[in-house]
Amino acid sequence: MDVISVIRTKRDKGELSPEQIDWVIDAYTRGVVADEQMSALAMAILLNGMNRDEIARWTAAMIASGERMDFSSLSRPTADKHSTGGVGDKITLPLAPLVAACGAAVPQLSGRGLGHTGGTLDKLESIPGWRALLSNEEMLHVLDTTGAVICAAGDGLAPADKKLYALRDVTGTVEAIPLIASSIMSKKIAEGTGSLVLDVKVGTGAFMKNIEDARELASTMVQLGTDSGVKTVALLTDMSTPLGLTAGNALEVRESVEVLAGGGPADVVELTIALAREMLTAAGIKDADPAKALADGSAMDVWRRMIQAQGGDPDATLPVAREQHVVTAPSSGVLTRLDAYDIGIAAWRLGAGRARKEDPVQAGAGIELHAKPGDTVTAGQPLLTLHTDTPEKFDYALKSLDAAWDIAPEGTSFTANPIVLDRIA
């Protein structure tokens, strides 16, 4: 087997054989295939696609590159959730303890932010003492004792994906649907969860800008999970406007705690409960009410135990940025658009995100939203508050907000997009 023939097959719109796929994934993981060669293959896949058999084999080969976890010793059924990434998407934080409070075990392997999308681990690391890196034994212990764990994937889980993910990010091939689907599902299947709910974001702040591409991605991932024996369902959810009223790390943790305390923004609560119901149904738990678990404090109890079990202090004061800048409404009327991508870029430029995986983030950086589409605003009232430790970043962040919103004349009717756009099972 040689890598040139594999590249040529996909370049010429051919179908890769199972043997070609197994060999190239293994050889790339071992360093026999060079980055520039895998880059060429990834670009050929982006341009020419893969069929269902190819994607399934590619995913299986990435799973086979590392270990598989086993949660069969737990007394509860397992359910996990994966979001394709967005702006203000703090849903994992209240969702994992909520589902655990309703009787499932939630082994949530999460990632860090890159570019305009936020990362769950970055958010939680704003809590003093909290640890993202756990051994497999520690992860199982936290899961067994609290019902939920949110942590980083270990190096032994799908190492081929870890290497290929970094390569795709710097070669313009992130958007390839076969590679997105196999990347997500190889980790989730290797993780060993019994059921999986996918939150596939659609809109300006998502990787999938239109619903057709999002539906294709969701269908591909549902097929991969089902074929591997994992009960899988996907919700397509709106990401044209940021979720909630914050985009940033400590800012989003604070908002998540508000949700767990029975408050918080309506859109965050709605999506959290919708995903919780899907996860509980997939896990075979029929009689639990996630709305009640939010209201009665049981989800908050699990949150506190989960944070403490990973070294964090749930009562600690969260970091606050040293500098703030208020952006006011330029006119009076109805706010009809607040662009998720523009808000995400501004938060990233303020220090809430990173351009490279090794870059640090500021715990307190980000953006507060004082109005959402559909709200009536008055000229001069606060629209956004920008937070950062480095005030020289304000001008750079403000440039990304030049066309971030629309304000229509007072009395203009407005209908918001539904949070959940479609369901694929």
For residue 214, what are its two tokens?
Answer: 């999002």
Alpha carbons 423 and 410: distance in angstroms, whole number: 35
For 352, list phi and psi in degrees, rounded to 5: -75, -20
Class of domain 80-154+173-178+187-309: alpha beta
User: For residues 95 and 81, is the Cβ–Cβ distance under 8 A?
Assistant: yes
Contacts within 8 Å (CB) and 24+ apart, 257-262: 257/300, 257/303, 259/94, 259/294, 260/94, 260/97, 260/98, 260/294, 260/299, 260/300, 260/303, 261/297, 261/300, 262/294, 262/295, 262/297
Q: pLDDT for 151-208, tens place per residue? A: 998 888 899 998 998 888 788 898 899 999 999 999 999 999 999 999 999 999 998 9
Q: pLDDT for 15-63, tens place per residue? A: 999 999 999 999 999 999 999 999 999 999 999 999 999 999 999 999 9
Q: What is the pLDDT of residue 359?
A: 80
For residue 327, what are its two tokens?
Answer: 């952006």
Q: Which of 281, 248, 230, 293 is nearest to 95 (CA)?
A: 293
For residue 55, what are its two tokens?
Answer: 């994607």
Strands 148-152 and 405-408: unpaired
What number of residues does the chain have?
425
In the chain, where the domains are located:
3-49, 80-154+173-178+187-309, 323-408
User: For residues 218 and 200, is the Cβ–Cβ distance under 8 A?
Assistant: yes
Q: Is the pTM of this model over 0.85?
A: yes
Of 3.20.20.80, 1.10.3720.10, 3.90.1170.30, 3.40.50.720, the CATH number of 323-408 is 3.90.1170.30
Query: Which residues are known catalytic residues?
Result: 82, 161, 168, 183, 187
Residue 113 banded pLDDT, cuts 50, 70, 90: confident
Task: Annotate 278-339 with three-state secondary structure.
Answer: HHHHHCCCCCCCHHHHHHCCHHHHHHHHHHHHCCCCCCCCCCCCCEEEEEECCCCEEEEEEC
For residue 235, what are its two tokens?
Answer: 């919700």
Residue 276 banded pLDDT, cuts 50, 70, 90: very high
Q: Mean pLDDT across the stretch 91-103?
A: 98
Q: Which of 155, 209, 185, 156 is nearest to 341 (CA)?
A: 209
Q: Mean pLDDT across the stretch 327-335?
A: 98
Q: Mean pLDDT across the stretch 371-377?
A: 97
Residue 118 banded pLDDT, cuts 50, 70, 90: confident
Task: Give the amino acid at 189.
Answer: I
Q: Per the CATH hierarchy, to which homologous superfamily does domain 3-49 belong?
A: Transferase, Pyrimidine Nucleoside Phosphorylase; Chain C (1.20.970.10)
Q: Residues near 420 by Cβ (< 8 Å), separated by ≥ 6?
A: 235, 236, 237, 238, 271, 274
For residue 314, what are its two tokens?
Answer: 């749930």
Q: What is the pLDDT of residue 298?
A: 97
Give whole-number Cα distances, 302 to 11, 118, 135, 153, 260, in Å.
Answer: 51, 23, 21, 21, 10
For 355, list phi and psi in degrees, rounded to 5: -90, -30
